[in-house]
């Protein structure tokens, strides 16, 4: 069974940092592109960013709203995905979902399996 378990969310002050983690199981993690998607309270879904697999050099893409502040990384030896969030703003408050990409290239659709982790940015 495919599982994605996010952790690391919590309350942080504006300007602070937080690191989210996601542990994957039930599939060959290192084959897949992985994404982060977020959802502000009562709002729609917003793509945050993507990290490609080793075959595609672990390169990354980001939404403009987080570029330069957020960094996505992965550790294939641990089946883990990370989201380092710096210079946090109140508008970053959201549930963050770790998502497996399906199709193995940039034309990936999402296979959401995690429960998400809530990040609250507030003073």
Partner 1 sequence: DIQMTQSPSTLSASVGDRVTITCRASQSISSWLAWYQQKPGKAPKLLIYKASSLERGVPSRFSGSGSGTEFTLTISSLQPDDFATYYCQHYDSYPLTFGGGTKMEIK
Separation between Cα atoms, residue 15 and residue 123, nearest integer Å: 10
List the one residue from 64, 68, 77, 123 that touches partner 1 (CB under 8 A). Answer: 64
Which of positions 82-121 make contact with partner 1 (CB under 8 A)?
A: 97, 102, 106-116
Cβ closer to partner 1: 61 or 76? 61
Which of positions 9-38 make contact with partner 1 (CB under 8 A)?
A: 35, 37
Residue span binding partner 1 (CB under 8 A) among the ranges 7-15, 20-28, 43-51, 75-83: 43-51
Separation between Cα atoms, residue 32 and residue 79, nearest integer Å: 11
Cβ closer to partner 1: 68 or 77? 68
3 state SS of 22: strand
Among left, alpha and beta (phi > 0; psi -120 to 50; other), residue 101 is beta
Q: How many helices (H) and strands (E) does the chain have?
A: 0, 11
3 state SS of 33: coil
> Is residue 76 close enough to count as binding partner 1 by CB under 8 A?
no
List contacts with partner 1 (CB under 8 A).
35, 37, 44-47, 50, 61, 63-64, 97, 102, 106-116
């Amino acid at each position: 069974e495919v599982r994605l378990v996010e952790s690391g969310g919590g309350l942080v002050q504006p300007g602070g940092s937080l690191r989210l983690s996601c542990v994957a199981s039930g599939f060959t993690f290192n084959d897949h592109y992985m994404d982060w998607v977020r959802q502000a309270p009562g709002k729609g879904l917003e793509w945050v960013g993507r990290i490609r697999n080793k075959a595609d050099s672990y390169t990354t893409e980001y939404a403009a709203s987080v570029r330069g502040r957020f960094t996505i990384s992965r550790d294939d030896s641990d089946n883990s995905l990370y989201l380092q969030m710096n210079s946090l703003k109140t508008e970053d408050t959201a549930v963050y979902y770790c998502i497996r990409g399906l199709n193995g290239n940039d034309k990936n659709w999402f296979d959401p399996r995690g429960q998400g982790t809530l990040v609250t940015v507030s003073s």
